[in-house]
């Protein structure tokens, strides 16, 4: 029926609502699956008896591959069929989650040793790091190619909201999938199966664009985590018609913004890596009973980040510099509150306040760098921002967990100190003329 939901169109787009939902589901299942994994991994590591440091390190190779290959797949999405690359990314997610789940089940049941368990986990996780990064750019490009220019920003923002929604859905559902015999790795198999459903739906019902025109383009996005809320750079880059020349982070127009973003990103990545372990230790929980409390704290953080980015930022209309200053101050206060938390309420409050602050800093540095260059260089600056966001998840988790081994309060205190040092530097350096937004750009969305 012409008037049915299946044939309704997304505003300003030739894409039907049902096809939009397929793209949305591809992004959502990856975000939800990743945050569900993050919510159970601390308990799994403790149950297997592997040191907390090595649990964090197991993600590093995947993060490196994501940072390196995300721009490559973004370029491929502009030259090849986007449906094929979307399927590649979802397929990588499915295989990686299933194999990681099998390795963890084997380790929990004592079939293989703890060291081998996490070596295999790191290798299987790398499948997602290398292939999963194809999904964001391919889905963005598919939508952009079907949407007129004037409506692309709104349509791409709606698609990208799936990442934020996934960060709440993942931890919320994870405890429900901790099943008999399978145990804590249950969420990995559950989201792998959900991914299979999404893969089949895309394969059957998303029109193939391999032979059609591909005017829209996709932008690479940073390594997925609770911290990876999508902001304006990737959306604006996906609206550009052509890629600009390669841009260095040392460019005087964006250098200060990138340094501020990397500093805040390292503080955020370290805190996010350690929070699950901190919940277990502060509440004195057993590994098998910890997933619900960790999920509650992570959901509170994700909801607080969404509230900041979807609710507060549009209403407060702060400049990029103000977002970084206020965000750093709020996150610093939240981290200090987290350090002194002794019960679940205190942890939820502290991590929630922390997440509000980081919900300000990432859009702040993203918008500052994006507005510092003209429209023709938006694709280039998006690549720099992607690398800056992703690089935090290469080194910071290892550093944070190394500090955690010394004292469980230390990574949060160190992250707070880093933000405290960032405040006067940002107040002085981001006020200089070279760091001001480019005159021909609109204010950040």
* Spatial CA neighbour of 321 closest among 256, 265, 232, 268: 256
Quote the percentage of the chain above a pLDDT of 70: 83
The partner residues of 13 in beta bridges, in order of sequence, read 147
Kindly indicate the confidence band of residue 138, based on its pLDDT and cuts at 50, 70 and 90: confident
Kindly indicate the confidence band of residue 59, based on its pLDDT and cuts at 50, 70 and 90: confident
pLDDT at 110: 94
Within a 13 Å sphere around the CA of 22, how many CA atoms are in the beta-carbon half?
Answer: 25
* Spatial CA neighbour of 87 closest among 21, 132, 124: 132
Q: Is 443 a residue whose pLDDT tops 60?
A: no
What long-range pairs does 419-422 form, CB within 8 A, spacing at least 24?
419/263, 419/264, 419/267, 419/328, 419/329, 419/331, 419/332, 419/335, 419/357, 420/328, 420/332, 422/260, 422/263, 422/264, 422/324, 422/328
* Spatial CA neighbour of 6 closest among 144, 145, 19: 19
179-210 residue pLDDT tens: 888 999 999 999 999 999 999 999 999 998 76
Angstrom distance (rounded) from CA 215 to CA 36: 35
Mean pLDDT of all residues belonging to the chain: 84
Domain ranges of the chain: 10-208+216-224, 248-431
Q: Is 269 a residue whose pLDDT tops 60?
A: yes
Mean pLDDT throughout 108-131? 93
Mean pLDDT throughout 428-437? 62
> Cβ(365)–Cβ(372) under 8 Å?
no
Q: Measured between alpha carbons, how far is residue 169 from residues 8, 165, 309 in Å?
A: 26, 6, 17
* Spatial CA neighbour of 40 closest among 177, 173, 181, 185: 185
Tokens of 240: 């550009």
Q: Is 440 a residue whose pLDDT tops 80?
A: no
Angstrom distance (rounded) from CA 29 to CA 10: 21
Q: Pick the residue with more confidence: 387 or 309? A: 309
- CATH fold group of domain 10-208+216-224: Growth Hormone; Chain: A; (1.20.1250)
Q: Which residue in the block uniquely carries the two structure tokens 């934020």?
A: 164
347-369 residue pLDDT tens: 999 999 999 999 999 889 888 88
Same topology for domains 10-208+216-224 and 248-431, yes or no? Answer: yes
Angstrom distance (rounded) from CA 256 to CA 258: 5
pLDDT at 105: 96
The yes or no reply on domain 248-431 and CATH 1.20.1250.20 is yes
């Amino acid at each position: 029926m012409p008037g049915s939901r299946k044939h309704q169109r997304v505003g300003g787009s030739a894409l039907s609502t049902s096809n939009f939902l397929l793209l949305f589901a591809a992004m959502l299942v990856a975000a939800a699956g990743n945050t569900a994994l993050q919510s159970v991994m601390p308990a799994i590591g403790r149950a297997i008896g592997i040191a907390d440091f090595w649990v964090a390190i197991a993600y590093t190779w995947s993060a490196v591959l994501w940072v390196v290959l995300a721009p490559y797949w973004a370029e491929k999405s502009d030259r090849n069929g986007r449906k094929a690359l979307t399927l590649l990314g979802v397929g990588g997610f499915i295989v990686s989650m299933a194999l990681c789940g099998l390795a963890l089940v084997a380790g929990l049941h004592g079939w293989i040793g703890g060291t081998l368990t996490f070596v295999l986990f790191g290798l299987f996780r790398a499948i997602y790091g290398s292939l999963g990064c194809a999904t964001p750019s391919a889905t963005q490009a598919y939508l952009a190619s079907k949407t007129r220019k004037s409506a692309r920003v709104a349509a791409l923002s709606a698609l990208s909201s799936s990442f934020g929604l996934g960060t709440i859905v993942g931890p919320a559902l994870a405890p429900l999938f901790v099943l008999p015999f399978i145990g804590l790795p249950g969420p990995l198999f559950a989201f792998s199966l959900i991914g299979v459903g999404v893969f089949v739906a895309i394969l059957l019902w998303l029109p193939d664009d391999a032979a059609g025109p591909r005017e829209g383009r996709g932008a690479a996005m940073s390594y997925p985590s609770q911290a990876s809320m999508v902001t304006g750079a990737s959306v604006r880059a996906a609206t550009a018609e052509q890629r600009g020349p390669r841009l260095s982070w040392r460019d005087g127009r964006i250098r200060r913004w990138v340094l501020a973003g990397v500093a805040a990103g390292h503080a955020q990545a370290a805190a996010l890596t350690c929070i699950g372990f901190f919940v277990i230790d502060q509440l004195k929980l057993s590994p098998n009973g910890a997933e619900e409390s960790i999920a509650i704290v992570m959901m509170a953080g994700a909801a607080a980040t969404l509230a900041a980015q979807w609710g507060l930022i549009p209403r407060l209309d702060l400049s990029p510099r103000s977002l970084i200053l206020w965000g750093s101050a709020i996150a610093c206060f939240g981290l200090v509150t987290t350090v002194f938390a002794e019960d679940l309420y205190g942890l939820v409050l502290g991590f929630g306040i922390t997440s509000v602050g980081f919900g300000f800093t990432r859009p702040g540095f993203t918008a500052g760098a994006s507005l510092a260059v003209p429209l023709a260089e938006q694709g280039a600056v998006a690549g720099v921002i992607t690398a800056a966001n992703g690089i935090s998840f290469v080194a910071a988790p290892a550093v944070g967990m190394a500090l955690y081994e010394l004292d469980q309060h230390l990574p949060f205190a160190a992250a707070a100190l880093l933000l405290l040092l960032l405040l006067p530097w940002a107040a002085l350096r981001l006020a200089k003329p070279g760091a001001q937004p480019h005159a021909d750009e609109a204010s950040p969305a």
